[in-house]
A and B are shown apart, each in its own frame.
Chain A
Amino acid sequence: MPDETTENKVTEVSDVPEATDVPESTVEALDAVERSETEAAKAAEHVLAAVEPTVGVSKPDPILVVDDVQRRFGGMTAVDVQHLEVQRGVITALIGPNGAGKTTFFNLLTGFDKPNQGSWAFEGRPLGGVSAAKVARNGMVRTFQLTKALSRLTVLQNMLLAAMGNPGENLFGSLVKPLWAGTEKKNTEKALEILARFKLDAKKDDFAGSLSGGQRKLLEMARALMTDPTMIMLDEPMAGVNPALVQSLLHHIQALRDDGMTVLFVEHDMHAVRHISDWVVVMAEGKIVAEGPPKSVMQDQAVVDAYLGAHHDTDLGDDSLLDPAVLARLEAEEEKR
């Protein structure tokens, strides 16, 4: 695999400059990623520039509106979101420390979990109590933090399974091959194209169970794209993916936005967040503690508190935070308080 990544094929997808060298680390990889300069990127920035960076602020064209959603596990409140709007056609990052409730929030929105109270609407349609499958058919498709590759299906079968509206998936339609052979062929072409983007095309006939952890992450994202979602929700898409691929993955995510898709993603890597997101929502202990454009939100006191636990005037997007020595110093300072 590694030598395949030396070529930066992503330029076909979005107009980013050629990366000359193979990045050694994630930081280096990210430095090669520039915010895409497409119309969509500029439009997103322009629209969001006018939005006040305060919690629960309303957006000009929200695709998802969440109201007063709560999920409690026993006495512990995992999610308690008063009001959140997600702007259409932009990349929104959802960040927060471990256990903040990000995954639980995803589960609630996509019908994999039921809230104790609250409501939310996707494209104006209320989605509370709607089954996970219907949510996906409505165009809101998610991936999982713990990847769910369908092990004993091949990579290509994983992809084909995801395509919507295949007449061969009907019990009676399935018996008559001419009814679905055409759809299948079209879907295969589309699947191979997406797989090529994620550098998985060489693996198309391998069982998904034989893929590495990072490759499964990629497959899951590719599979979600097969459904032609309006909004894609990615739970830590970069976790476990090697630096060179992170770089192209970030390009892909920006390309999705440039194609008009809405992206909501959970990510722990602040640098990735800073580089590609148009808007950042910060969760801590179930609540949304800040939201705003990536540059300013990282300096938000509430956010720094949430992550580092005390009053540091550190910018979370600061590369120095990647340095273990700096982190250790911050932790030591924290201890002393």
Chain B
Amino acid sequence: MELSRILTQALAELIAPTTAAIALAAIGLNLHFGFTGLLNMGQAGFMLLGAYGFGIATISGAPFWLALLISLAAGALFALILGAPTLQLRGDYLAIVTISAAEIIRMLGRATVFQEYTGGAAGLTGGSFKSTFQELSFLPAPPERGAFGPLEYVFTGSDSWWTRLFAWAVVLIAVVFVWLLTRSPWGRVLKGIREDEDAVRALGKNVFSYKMQALVLGGMCGSLAGMLYVLPRSVAPDAMGRSLTFFAWTVLLLGGAATLFGPVLGSMLFYAVYMLLRAGMREGLEGVVSATMVEQIGGLLVGVTLMLLVIFRPQGILGNKKELAFDAR
């Protein structure tokens, strides 16, 4: 039956590695925007950098955990470079700088000059950087397959149970980490900065340093998310552009900024509904609209959803409406 196939596809999106990756990217944005009030409009740039860091390090022979650390370090370094000149200035500057820096990373990635390392516009093929990750698997080796309900994947491989297990484990660790941070006095300083940084300065806190810490941590979430994002596919610079940043923002606002589980819930819901829409259109409007048009209409609907969300439920699903009422100072 068609319907059950569509529903299964949507269900699969709930636990897909990509869903986990975007959830992690949104967790990073949540540290930036939800807790500190920083506008990072270039999370995809952090993701791409993390993906390159992991891919290139692995191809050069680094073991898995070293490659992962390099991926994290790339995100941290990027945050430091972008934050140093902008975090002293008004918030809008960070938004402008991050959006253009993400584009620069993408352009450099596609440039022929670094083709030797980045693979140019074609990127890095999946097979070239995934072996260390798959060797890590303690699940049965391919071609062993496993089914859970209607979902069936190989245990170990690109689009596998192992990739899902790993990706969601990373998300879980990130959630715990954010929980520990945001319930602490450190998290309280971030929230204070979000509300009014001059007031926090007047109380003797080094606002620049806190903003930088938040930017770096959120950026590291972004670069790690980039690594997760490419585990089931290849590193392709053009697949990690502005629209990916835009997806991460939608996910964050859908779930609820400044909430602990908002990014995770938002990502699951977003990808499941997005799949439902596209698969539904493919089936229901077969012959009426082409496959590429389905993608375009899907993208359009995401945009409309984001707008409606910001207008009618700015606090997202998990957010507290009461808190938001004080936004107008």
Query: Which residues of A lie under 8 Å from residue B177 when comparing CB positions?
Result: 175
Instruction: Write the nearest CB–CB distance from B281 to chain A, whole angstroms.
Output: 40
A4-54 at interface with B (beta carbon < 8 Å)? none
Q: Contact at A160–B188, with CB atoms within 8 Å?
A: yes
- By the criterion CB–CB under 8 Å, are B195 and A153 in contact? yes
Closest to B206 in A: A133
Are B180 and A175 closer than 8 Å at their CB atoms? Answer: yes
Interface of B is mostly: helix
Q: Is B213 an interface residue (CB 8 A)?
A: yes
Contact status A209-B202, CB under 8 Å: no
- Mark the stretch among A81-89, A163-171, A300-308, A314-322 that contacts chain B: A163-171
Q: Which of A110, A144, A160, A164 contacts B199 (CB 8 A)?
A: A144
Q: Is the pair B192, A150 in contact by a Cβ cutoff of 8 Å?
A: yes
8 Å CB contacts to B: which residues of A93-149?
110, 112, 131-134, 136-137, 141-144, 148-149
Are B191 and A150 touching (Cβ within 8 A)? Answer: yes
A141 touches B202 (CB 8 A): yes
A174 with B195: CB separation less than 8 A:
no
Q: Which residues of B contact A223 (CB under 8 A)?
A: 203
CB distance from A147 to the nearest CB of B (A): 9
Contact with A along B163-205 (1 / 0, CB 8 A): 0000000000000010011001111110110111011111111
Is the pair A161, B200 in contact by a Cβ cutoff of 8 Å? yes
Do residues B184 and A133 form an inter-chain contact, with CB atoms below 8 A? no
Binds A, one of B102-110, B237-245, B318-326: B318-326
Contacts of B235 in A (CB 8 A): none
The number of chain A residues with a CB under 8 A from chain B is 42
Chain A residue numbers with a CB within 8 Å of B206 are: 131, 133
Establish whether residues A151 and B192, one from each chain, have CB atoms under 8 Å apart when the complex forms. no
| B204 engages A151 (CB within 8 Å) | no
Taking CB as reference atom, which chain A residue is nearest B216?
A171
Question: Does B57 count as interface, using CB distance less than 8 angstroms?
Answer: no
Contact of A174 with B187 in the complex, beta carbons under 8 Å: yes
Quick one: which of A112, A133, A151, A227 contacts B329, CB cutoff 8 A?
Answer: A151
Picked from A153, A175, A210, the residue with its CB within 8 Å of the CB of B191 is A153
Task: Give the distance in Å from the alpha carbon of A136 to the alpha carbon of B199 in the complex.
Answer: 11
Residue-wise interface mask of B (17-61) relative to A, using a CB-CB cutoff of 8 A (1 in contact, 0 not): 000000000000000000000000000000000000000000000
Nearest Cβ on chain A to B84's Cβ, whole angstroms: 16
Residue A58 CB within 8 A of the other chain: no
Contact A133 B199 (CB under 8 A): no
Q: Is A299 an interface residue (CB 8 A)?
A: no
A169 with B202: CB separation less than 8 A = no
Report chain B residues within 8 Å CB of A143. Answer: 202
- Residue B327 at the chain A interface, CB threshold 8 Å: yes
**Is A242 in contact with chain B by the CB < 8 A criterion?**
no
CA distance A160 to B188 in the complex (A): 9
Q: Are B181 and A144 in contact (CB under 8 A)?
A: no
Indicate whether B207 reaches chain A with its CB closer than 8 angstroms: yes
Instruction: Tell me the smallest distance from the CB of B248 to a CB of chain A, in Å.
Output: 23
Residue contact B180 to A174, C-beta cutoff 8 Å: yes
Contact partner of A184 among B185, B194, B322, B325, CB < 8 A? B185
Residues of A contacting B185 in the complex (Cβ-Cβ under 8 angstroms): 160-161, 166, 168-169, 174, 180, 184
Q: Which of B199, B201, B327 contacts A150 (CB 8 A)?
A: B199
Where chain A touches its partner, the secondary structure class is helix
- Which residues from A are CB-within-8-Å of B213? 171
Interface residue A312 (Cβ < 8 Å from any Cβ of B): no
Residue of B nearest to A147 (CB): B199
A162 within 8 A of B: yes
Q: Among A110, A153, A168, which residue has its beta carbon within 8 angstroms of that of B202? A: A110
Quick check: B203 and A161 within 8 Å, CB to CB? yes
Scoring B200, B203, B326 by chain A CB atoms within 10 A of each residue's CB, the highest score goes to B203
Q: Closest CB-CB distance, B33 to chain A, in whole Å? A: 13
Task: Identify which of residues 259-284 in chain B touch chain A, using a CB-to-CB cut-off of 8 Å.
Answer: none
Contact B326 A210, beta carbon cutoff 8 Å? yes
B186 touches A162 (CB 8 A): no
Residues of B308-323 at the interface with A, using a CB-CB cut-off of 8 Å, are 322-323
Q: Does A185 contact B (CB under 8 A)?
A: no
Q: What separation, in Å, do the CA atoms of A224 and B213 have in the docked complex?
A: 25
- B205 lies within 8 A of A168 (CB): no
Q: Are A136 and B188 in contact (CB under 8 A)?
A: no
Within 8 A of A (CB), among B193-241: 194-196, 198-207, 213
Q: Are B204 and A209 in contact (CB under 8 A)?
A: no
Contact call A162/B326, Cβ cutoff below 8 A: no
Which residues does chain B contribute within 8 Å of A112, judged by CB atoms? 198, 201-202
Determine whether the beta carbon of B204 is less than 8 Å from that of A169: no
* Docked pose: A226 CA to B205 CA in angstroms: 13
CA A226 to CA B199, docked complex, whole Å: 13
Question: Would you give 21 A-B contacts (Cβ < 8 Å), ordered by A?
Answer: A112-B198, A131-B201, A132-B201, A133-B205, A134-B204, A136-B201, A136-B202, A141-B202, A150-B199, A150-B200, A151-B327, A151-B329, A152-B194, A160-B185, A160-B188, A161-B185, A170-B186, A174-B187, A209-B326, A223-B203, A227-B204
20 further A-B pairs in the complex, CB-CB below 8 A; given A112-B202, A142-B202, A150-B200: A136-B201, A141-B204, A144-B198, A148-B199, A149-B199, A150-B195, A151-B327, A152-B327, A153-B188, A153-B195, A160-B185, A160-B188, A162-B203, A169-B205, A171-B181, A171-B213, A207-B323, A209-B325, A210-B326, A226-B203
Which residues of B come within 8 Å of A, CB atoms? Answer: 177, 180-181, 184-189, 191-192, 194-196, 198-207, 213, 322-323, 325-327, 329
Which 5 pairs of residues, A with B, have the shortest CB-CB distance?
Answer: A209-B326, A174-B184, A174-B186, A136-B204, A168-B185
